Structure 1
Amino acid sequence: MSDPRVAEHMPLLSKKWDTDVAKKFIASKEQRWARDGLGHWAFLVDGRYVGWGGFQKEGDEWDFGLVLRPDAFGLGLRITREAIEFAIADDRIPFVTFLLPPSRKNLSALQRLGARHFGEVNYDGARFLRYRLETR
């Protein structure tokens, strides 16, 4: 999260990423698991940590987010496809939303998955492009 190549596409990352911020962040994600029964995962490839992400409930919607280490940027579509398979099998998730900052220019992978642009949304003062993928 402290790598500028990662932070560039995370407009809500407004604080310097240090141990205290990381601990609070992890605690907030664990609270989501306790409340919703689902949340974010750590992603491993061949036993190596490549990033984190997963589903976070926003109102009545399940939003999928993914943050990869720069040396794993090419794994996004593969990981997202596996997560979508999870969502399809989970009756709680009739569709998935994706919130992307306007700095993300290459959105062809989302379109290949079948996600459709669904407008824009302001979230904590930052503008995001909103996409939606039906899972039913």
Structure 2
Amino acid sequence: MDANLKHNIAFARLSEIEPAEIAAHMSDPRVAEHMPLLTFAWDDAAVRKFVAQKEECWNRDGLGHWAILSDGRYVGWGGFQKEGDEWDFGLVLRPDAFGLGTRISRKALEYAIADERIPFVTFLLPPSRKNLGALKRIGAKFLGEIEYDGARFLKFQLETA
């Protein structure tokens, strides 16, 4: 996918995506490379459980993770998940859509800026991620390293209010 071309980015619910498409996406070793919590095989049952968990976030918090579409084609998932008192932003793209990350993030962060419940957004990135320039460019501040579910992450925060 050429990231220099204009792409119509849209957000949909994960429940609208064929489970086999999500399973194929999450089974790609290039995706797993930067996901230390991805320690299981993605089959139909795993996708159903994942989508149900993400839908529960929407029901509980009124916001959650979306399926991300580029020109109507599923390219990944991401969005916001409430972790305690913080809203964490995550983005997991198919390898052929990695170049769309900044554009998708910008569109998603517009939601956070417009939502008065979200004074800031956090980002948890595995230490394997070395290119952090995009976070610096948008003004995210490094808070330090944390442990989450037994894995180390670099934690950043972006003020949205």
TM-score by length of 1: 0.98
Residue number in structure 2 paired with 1:23: 48
Stretches of 4+ moved more than 4 A in 1?
none
| Offset, 1:55 | 0.2
Residue number in structure 1 paired with 2:77: 52
Count of aligned positions: 136
Residue number in structure 1 paired with 2:160: 135
AA partner of residue 43 (structure 1):
I
> Which of 111, 127, 130 lines up with 1:105 in the alignment?
130
Task: Name structure 2 gaps, 5 residues minimum.
Answer: 1-25
| Offset, 1:84 | 1.1
Residue number in structure 2 paired with 1:32: 57
| Offset, 1:48 | 1.0
Residue number in structure 2 paired with 1:93: 118
> Which of 13, 32, 45 lines up with 1:7 in the alignment?
32
TM-score by length of 2: 0.83
Residue number in structure 2 paired with 1:117: 142
| Offset, 1:52 | 0.4
- What is the root-mean-square deviation of aligned Cα atoms in Å? 0.6
| Offset, 1:18 | 1.0
Residue number in structure 2 paired with 1:76: 101
Distance 1:29 1:55 in 2: 10
Distance 1:25 1:86 in 2: 23
| Aligned sequence identity (%) | 76
Note if 1:65 corresponds to 2:110.
no
